[in-house]
Structure formats: structure tokens, C-alpha cells
A and B are shown apart, each in its own frame.
Chain A
Amino acid sequence: MKLCITSMGKTLESKIDERFGRAPYFLIVDTETKEFQAVGNPAQTAGRGAGVVAAQMLSDMKVEALLTGIVGPNAFEAMKAARIKVYEGASETDIAASALDKFTQGMYQEVSGPSGGPGRGRGFRGGRR
């Protein structure tokens, strides 16, 4: 499937950026072939509605899932509307390639609610640092 991984850099060797809204790059990866393309995150510089802009772009690219650290409430709603599954809990101690492996092994949980509020299950990593 087509997966978006939020990243600090443009390759699979780049570190994960945990923040969907602020990560500089999205790595759009085919989870089977591991082929990928790096795109700039439009949410990074947008003001209002940044999450919606990012979600629209991913939806148009036919991305099916997002792997990141945290997603705020507005962006989460947008991803839900775009029917993109959200997986939280990716850690910036990992590089994108490791996170991708963990994803394909089913180690991240899909979240049903945004991280805007505290106390939600966060899948692989549980609480924050």
C-alpha cells in the first residue's frame, strides 16, 4: 500500500520527524516495493488549515496510511475525512527505513482519535519522553 512517513530528510535513511504538522518532508512509500518519493510538507509553512492542505495532497496522491509521531485534532479530522488511516507512535530515534520495517511487521497501532488530548493509546511507543 501507499504509506506516508513524516521525515526530517528526503531519503529512507533520514530520521523520522514526529510532528505531522511540522515535518519538512513526507516520504511516500510503496510498502511492498519500498520505492519512494519525497515531497515537501505543505503544512509546514501554511498558516490556517495546514492539516487540511496536507491531507488533501496525500488524498490526491492516493496515500492510504500515514505513519508519524503525533497528529493534532484538525489534521486528524482531515485525515479521517480523506479516509487515510493514521498510525502514531513513530519515534525520531528511528530512521524512516526502520520505521517502515516496524510498520510492515504490524508494530504500530492505528489511532481512532487525535493526540490533541492527552491519555490516548499511542501504539508502539506509549507515552512521550
Chain B
Amino acid sequence: MDLKNEILAALHRRPIDIPVVAVTGGKGGVGKSTVAVNLAAALVRMGYKVALMDADVDGPDDHILLGVSLERPLEVTVTVPAIDGNKCTRCRKCVDACRRHALLQPPDGVPVLIGDCNGCEACILVCPEEAIQRGARPVGKTYMCDRDGLALFSGELLPGAEDSAAVVNALRKRLYGSLDGADMVIVDTAPGIHCNVINALKGADSVYAVTEPTPLGAHDLERMLNLLRDLRLTARIILNRADLPGPRESFVAMAREFGGSTAIEIPTDELLLKSHVAGIPVVDMAPDADCSSRLRRIAEEIAREYLE
């Protein structure tokens, strides 16, 4: 039974119906955050209110590029089982139900949690004595910083924890719970094509796939474009550091195969490094620069499509 349509409809459902543009890329370090931050800043300059989601919870960087700090922390927790010794009959149903084998029944006492619990609560569901309470394990934090029309929502995974998904989910929930009249959501995803990137791409109206024109960029972009096609998302390619040597023809071919429109090019520009270090988006720091006008043009394209 092919449920692809139903799965994608459910995946892309969003709590509030305002436009979402995602910036992603596959390969790390190609300039996703730079593009996302500048698109948001450019739209704010045009008078719109923007909510920016920094969904790279392993290493949030958008606040650095915006020169703001991570404010208003809220802890993200995941359930862990807390077993009541008075009710536990040591029947071991919880040990057997845990597919991660995170529970061990010692010679005496109640089952002990060892290592990898992901909060699925299977153990709580099977316990016939209702002997398991919900404990909480901190796995990260979400933050919110509001600055002149740009609300930045960031998430941060606790080093050593593996629950990036829980942090991204909490981040999305916080953003949609605090939209406060935003006209648009811009999402900066993590690098890669794994489940947390997919989680960040949920509900996107359009996607910008940032890459660099090198063989590595081409290889990773193809994987990303295949993923986007699988998710039935349309993408435009942004070729950052467009002057780097590499297989240009591959990118032309990919643009044709996956979406029809040509790639947007942004040449290497020292100003981008300067703006990173200064913590000011380049469209604000040097609005007349070549890279700023290219980024602004993309923002204008977005505004035309979704906001006017």
C-alpha cells in the first residue's frame, strides 16, 4: 500500500500557515547560515517581520553572524524511567520491551537504566504494576532573541547527548508558539541529509540548496537534491564561492534535472568574512556591495513569491 502522499502530507503539515523558506545544502561549511541570516536581514530591511530558526542544534552559529547572544534559555528534556521499588515485582517486562537494551535487572532490586534511553516510554507502557514514573533527562536548550523585526530561535544540543531530534522538535514548537505576527519563517538547517535535516525541512514552501562549485560540493548537492525530490520540495541552487575551480557542467546539469532554474552565483568575497567576524549581516554592514545585492535579489524573489 503506497502511502507516500499521506506520509508527505502529514510531514509537511504546519501548525500556523505562514510561508516557510528553508536554506540547506548537504555539504557543511558552504554558507548556509550566511545565506539564511542575510535573507532574513534583507527581508527585515524591506519591512517584513521574520522568524529565523537555527536548526543546526549541534552547532548553532546564526547568533554569531547576527552579533547577538543566546537569550531566554529553556531546557529541553527527554523522559527517562524512574522505577518505584515498592510497586516493582521484577517481572522484567520493561527489560524485554526496551529495544535499546538500556535496562538491566540486577540480582536484587529494581531494573537499572544503563546508557542509551531515548525516551520512547515503551517500558512505562508495558509495566503491569504502573511502577514506572517519568523522570526527566536534560538534552539541550532552546533560545529566543528578538531584535528589530528579526526573531532568532536557536537550539543547542548538550555535548555528549544524542537527542538532536528532541531539541529540533522543541525548537519548532517554541517558534510556532511565539510567532507574534511574523510574516515569514526562514529555517537554517544542519548540514547533511539525515533525519534532523528532514525535520527542519518540514513544511517548507521553497528551499535554497547552498553549495560550492567543487567536486565535493557537486557530490553532496546531488544527494541533497535527491532527498528534496523525495520530499517533494522544490529547490533553487545557490553556488557560493562561485569562483572556486570545479565541475561547473555538473551543476548546470543538476539544476536542469532537478528543477529547471539556473543556479544563483555568489563569488568569494572578503566582505563575507569581515561581516562574520563583525557579527553584522553583510546586507546591513555593506548594503551596496556586490554580494549584498545578490543576496538582496534572492530576498526580493522570496518576497515577490510569498509576501506580496
Provided the pairs A48-B116, A74-B115, A77-B115 are in contact, do residues A82 and B106 lie with their beta carbons within 8 angstroms? yes
Q: Which residues in A have their C-beta under 8 angstroms from that of B116?
A: 48-49, 74
From B97-105, B178-186, B245-253, give the one contacting chain A.
B97-105
Q: Give A100 Cβ to nearest chain B Cβ, in Å.
A: 24
Assembly CA distance A62 to B103 (angstroms): 18
Please report the C-alpha to C-alpha distance between residue A77 and residue B101 in the assembled complex, in whole angstroms: 13
Q: Lowest 7 CB-CB distances: which A-B pairs, in order?
A: A49-B101, A81-B112, A74-B115, A52-B101, A48-B100, A78-B114, A53-B101
A92 to B114, CA, bound (A): 29
- Nearest-neighbor residue (CB-CB) of B99 within chain A: A48
A113: shortest Cβ distance to chain B, in Å? 15
- On whether the beta carbons of B107 and A83 are closer than 8 Å, the reply is yes
Sample of 19 A–B contacts (CB below 8 Å): A48-B101, A49-B98, A49-B102, A49-B116, A51-B114, A52-B102, A52-B104, A53-B101, A56-B101, A56-B104, A59-B105, A74-B115, A74-B116, A78-B114, A81-B104, A81-B106, A81-B112, A82-B107, A83-B106
Q: A48-B100, A49-B100 are in contact. Are A56 and B105 (CB under 8 A)?
A: yes
Q: Is B20 an interface residue (CB 8 A)?
A: no
B95 within 8 A of partner (CB) = yes
Q: Which of B102, B105, B106 has the most chain A CB within a 10 Å cutoff?
A: B106
Tell me the dominant secondary structure on chain B's binding face.
loop
B179 shortest CB reach to chain A, Å: 38
Closest beta carbon of chain B to A48's beta carbon, Å: 5
Nearest CB of A to B217, in Å? 33
Bound-complex Cα distance A51 to B114 (A): 9
In the docked arrangement, what's the CA distance between A68 and B112, Å? 23
Contacts from A to B (Cβ < 8 Å): 46, 48-53, 55-56, 59, 62, 74, 77-78, 81-83
What CA separation (Å) do A50 and B101 show in the bound complex? 7
* Contacting residues, chain B, for A49 (C-beta < 8 A): 98, 100-102, 114-116
Question: How far, in Å, is A47 (CB) from chain B's closest CB?
Answer: 9
Find the A residue at minimum CB distance from B111. A81
Are B101 and A59 in contact (CB-based, < 8 A)?
no
Residues of chain B within 8 A of A52, CB atoms compared: 101-104, 114-115
A78: contacting residue among B98, B100, B104, B107, CB under 8 A: B104
Residues from chain B with a CB closer than 8 A to the CB of A78 are 104, 114-115
Most chain B CB atoms below 10 A, which of A49, A77, A78, A82: A49
Question: Chain A's nearest CB lies how many Å from the CB of B95?
Answer: 7
Contacts of B101 in A (CB 8 A): 46, 48-50, 52-53, 56
Closest to A76 in B: B114
Q: What's the Cα separation between A77 and B102 when bound, in Å?
A: 11
Q: Which residues of A contact B112 (CB under 8 A)?
A: 81
Question: Complex Cα distance A116/B42, Å?
Answer: 49
Residues of B with C-beta under 8 A to A50: 101
In the assembly, what is the distance between CA of A82 and CA of B107, in Å?
A: 6
CA distance A55 to B114 in the complex (A): 11
- Taking a contact as CB atoms under 8 Å apart, the answer to whether B95 and A56 are in contact is yes
How far apart sit A91 and B249, CA to CA, in the bound complex (Å)?
A: 57
Chain A residues with Cβ under 8 A from B105's Cβ?
A: 56, 59
**Contacting residues of chain B (99-128) with chain A, CB-CB under 8 angstroms:** 100-107, 112, 114-116
Contact A59 to B106, CB < 8 A, known contacts A49-B100, A50-B101, A52-B101: yes
Are B104 and A55 in contact, with the CB atoms below 8 A? yes
